[in-house]
Structure 1
């Protein structure tokens, strides 16, 4: 089952380190008062030569993480 919510935001912005893009996922949502808070920060995931590959990996990783906990 795939987790699906319009209230959850996945930020898959990688960080650049040692000549590669380290995949990273920030999963957040908003409280009823509108303030944002983090549900989970992945830490560094695998590194990739291409930024787009790191982003795709992080999005997939975050979706799997959400499915395992809330799906």
Structure 2
């Protein structure tokens, strides 16, 4: 099953380190009052030469993480 919800927000913004883009994901959830709270922070997942590759990897990783827990 593939997880799909507007309740969660995935921020796959990579960080730049030692000449490469480090993929990581921040997963947050919406609160009833409109605020957000962190659900999970992945830590560094992998390094990439191209920013878009790091973003795509982090998004896929986060979707799989959500599927495994809330799918």
Q: TM-score, normalised by structure 2?
A: 0.97
User: Deviations 1:13-42 (Å, cap 9, x if unpaired)?
Assistant: 000000000001000111111111111000
Partner of 1:7: 7
Question: Residues of 2 paired with 1:35 and 1:46: CA distance?
Answer: 30
Structure 1, gaps ≥5 residues long: none
Shift of 1:56: 0.2
Partner of 2:20: 20
Shift of 1:43: 0.4
Question: Residues of 1 paired with 2:63 and 2:45: CA distance?
Answer: 14
Q: TM-score, normalised by structure 1?
A: 0.97
Counting matched residue pairs gives 71
Q: Greater share of strand residues, 1 or 2?
A: 2
